[in-house]
Structure 1
């Protein structure tokens, strides 16, 4: 029954896109419809990834899910840059890393069975994210005083982005090579979709997800204003969750089916890919639109470092359990509260600045 509802729900994605361009729906209606449409799309990406993983093994399967699942985030980020929303882009990207580490992985462990995880693969993902955080400090620290989008910070972001892409290339090459050597099987022994069909489903679902996510993000600011949320909170929490809808749903689906090792690969591979590939790729591609600096806030760097430490400590033994899932989800809720407080502080500062500027303008 649930499967039939999800299959039928796949029609909602194209419907949302058609209504967005052909009808004049309110922002709230577009937000709700888009959010609902992402659920069956996330299920399809999870289903196709699980089928592909039968041919490749969980390591490469997790890489495929991260790659296809992060494509909408890249599109969302470039669209936001085109609109001049640099704070939204930075917040959504750091929120994506933290969300994958704590929320996606936490729910995967919570809904999955007890089991063993690939410690070597986890260590590689943790190491890649750790290197990214250290390199982010290069442009971030000087950005904490003054305009984070000033040219000096933008210039510092370029070599950092190039180094991160080199790290990503090296790590990806050796990781995929290792997983390919570990997983050797004949297609005759596999009871799953043909590999080409799984890739086709992943590609189609990713394209529709990107278009639906664009509609949702376009209505987010108006929706957030109605409910009284700050731009920073919207970007670091809501936009990050929306952009990660594919990984969220896909990881939980495969974990619930008993493949907790694949679910963990999806969450960790996605977090690492955002940190060492998506963020630098967005920074470099932004030069075609409007250069983006990697001047992350103190709270963002702290959330990245804290999320990495909590996840690494929780998975130190290489075991999956519901208790560990609860710890990770609870840690994410703490981050959400901190992001909410930081956003409110920014809003209050902006209000104070406008209030103090008003008498000056009046006297002038």
Structure 2
């Protein structure tokens, strides 16, 4: 049923584009429509990536997942860079890390209940978020005084980004070696052909770029009309929208009793944003306009604190619904903190 709804809601994407160019509605309506359209697009990209991975093996499959699985967030971030909305860039990315750590993981545990998880893998993902947060301090701390967008901080962000990407490659290589024997060369029955998967990926990515451009272009007015700051809209609403399909998938998997997989989705997604997507955006931004990883204290506290809370709850490798409630409450507190922080 859910899949049928997602397939049907893909019609929102062309509707959003047509409405934007032909009707010229209010920016608030455009933002809401674009946000809704991005959810099924993110799901479709995830589906196509998964099917493509059935044909390519774990190495290329992992690369496709990292590249296209984060496509909506990457596109939104780069469009925000092009629009000189650097706070939106950093807010949406830090919000994505926190959303996966607290909100998605929290609901997964709430629906999954008691169970056991892959403790080692979970702690590795949480450790990656912790390391990334510490490295972000290098360009962030100097930005707390003076211009946070100054060129020197963008330069200071380069070695941090490279270090994080190397860390990501190393951990991914180790994980692939660890799980290589589990890979089955032949694709599962019902898998799309590789050509079809790549075609869907290409088309969905292009359409996502069009819709994301509308979202970013209408964000400022939406924030004003809703009496919210751009930072809050980016860190909460945009971050959730960019990951919505993945979030829903983790919760559904947990409700079906596959708690270990659901936990892996939430934590691995958070780590992937921290050590792959954020540095990738920082490096790619040099093709448009350099962006410094000058995160605000509230963002670093949210990311680091989220990792600490999740680690404390999952340290023994066991889960419960009370753990899920605690994580969700922590996310609510984080959202309140983002709201009170205001724009820079």
TM-score, normalised via structure 1 length: 0.83
Asked if 1:122 is matched to 2:111, the reply is no
* Preserved contact between residue 213 and residue 243 of structure 1 (Cα < 8 Å): no
* Preserved contact between residue 51 and residue 192 of structure 1 (Cα < 8 Å): no
Aligned to 1:28: 28
- Structure 1 180/200 Cα, relative in aligned 2: closer, same or farther at 3 Å? farther
Aligned residue runs from structure 1 range 1-364, under 5 A? 1-44=1-44, 67-112=67-112, 114-181=114-181, 183-185=182-184, 187=186, 190-194=188-192, 196=194, 204-343=203-342
- Structure 1 323/251 Cα, relative in aligned 2: closer, same or farther at 3 Å? same
The whole-number CA distance in structure 1 between the counterparts of 2:290 and 2:94 is 18
Aligned-residue offset at 1:185: 4.2
The whole-number CA distance in structure 2 between the counterparts of 1:230 and 1:206 is 28
Aligned-residue offset at 1:140: 1.1
Whichever of the two has the greater Rg, that structure is 1
> What are structure 1's unaligned runs of at least 5 residues?
347-364
The whole-number CA distance in structure 2 between the counterparts of 1:108 and 1:149 is 37
- Structure 1 143/198 Cα, relative in aligned 2: closer, same or farther at 3 Å? same
* Preserved contact between residue 100 and residue 271 of structure 1 (Cα < 8 Å): yes
Aligned-residue offset at 1:174: 1.0
Aligned-residue offset at 1:52: 7.3
Deviations 1:89-138 (A, max 9, x none): 11111111111111122222223354332222212211211211111111
Aligned-residue offset at 1:170: 0.7
The whole-number CA distance in structure 1 between the counterparts of 2:277 and 2:184 is 32
CA RMSD of aligned residues (A): 3.0
Q: How many residues align?
A: 343
Aligned-residue offset at 1:38: 3.2
* Preserved contact between residue 35 and residue 238 of structure 2 (Cα < 8 Å): no
Between 1:11-20 and 1:153-162, the stretch displaced more is 11-20
Between 1:211-220 and 1:271-280, the stretch displaced more is 211-220
* Preserved contact between residue 58 and residue 180 of structure 2 (Cα < 8 Å): no
* Preserved contact between residue 49 and residue 68 of structure 2 (Cα < 8 Å): no
- Structure 1 281/54 Cα, relative in aligned 2: closer, same or farther at 3 Å? closer
> What are structure 2's unaligned runs of at least 5 residues?
none
Aligned to 1:362: none
The whole-number CA distance in structure 2 between the counterparts of 1:106 and 1:303 is 15
Deviations 1:288-337 (A, max 9, x none): 22111111111111111101101111222223433222211111110000
The whole-number CA distance in structure 2 between the counterparts of 1:37 and 1:308 is 30
The whole-number CA distance in structure 1 between the counterparts of 2:258 and 2:198 is 19
- Structure 1 165/304 Cα, relative in aligned 2: closer, same or farther at 3 Å? same
TM-score, normalised via structure 2 length: 0.87
- Structure 1 158/47 Cα, relative in aligned 2: closer, same or farther at 3 Å? closer
